[in-house]
A and B are shown apart, each in its own frame.
Chain A
């Protein structure tokens, strides 16, 4: 299934993206030419250790870089539109519709003084077209489900009811809210609509955030470490939910995580990041079966595996590169056991070594 998806056109393409941060210590070269493609309806996991630039990539995509950051080079193309050329206001509209993001800590992104109902309603009110479509379906069929709207969007056959009254739209919005909460498997959605974020547990808040993200019918869904703050049993629930929703929501997912095991559970494809570069991308199975890049190989041997216990774990010598004065050439070369003279010169390009398996390393 995953293989089939990857055949289609990329929904998102990032080309040679470079982002710098100016700090009082110097210029932090956070992204050093990131190349990434995300295909329609696939789940791509962006994996790396802290400081590798995975969250900066997400921030750049949604146009929420802090003031001291600047995009030096590169472009990001979402559905044929170049995001790097958008104004602040245009990016804001995109965040309201095409791109949705869920972060690690839902409590910082939910408004503590508004009920879940008000917050979901706000999302809908920003999307007049979606509501008008919903009213049209409601009138034609007597009932409306969120799934119908997704279907209408992917078929491109949306009918809108321009004369919908405010009362009608509000009623439809509530109906859709309940349906969405049911989709993310929150028990008793009617009661939850009336509750405030503090009344929900961590897992439930994350589900509510996911519901709000999907309420926009986004074409790009970014999940930034969404299970990191959760317990394992709750994490398993959320991952299971994401797997189940993937086929019902017409969106491509960019999943950012530091945990290779989590990526193994849900991703179709994995991109490994190191020091501001993508060093390897492959289909999930291929990456675990035959990792090419020395960093990926070492990283896989550094995680304890219950299925294959070892007496000693392999650790990667040295530390994550300092991004103010990063090592020249391949940023991994000071820690790499296979480093050659050429690695210190120019940065290796991401090249396809096997079908759908790209590696940035001079060994191949």
Chain B
């Protein structure tokens, strides 16, 4: 029962996680995290056949896992860039607010990003 439910899915789970991360689909990724927790619990004490089949499946999924790791790494780089952009923008807005205050202006500036 476990074999049919778990083994053919491992490669697809990893590929789908990579795809969801590329699309920044947080909902799907959180669902997948829950699925992985369930998978982990379901593999508590596998019999010998299940263990061998799962080991085989895991070996087949090594390349997908390496791909997922690289997507995660690329996301971290992008996240760093976005953080820096946010900080730059915040500093710029603070600076402009300061200039407006000093010049006696209080209006909102449009498109200033």
Whether chains A and B associate is: no
Spell out A's residues near B (CB within 8 Å): none
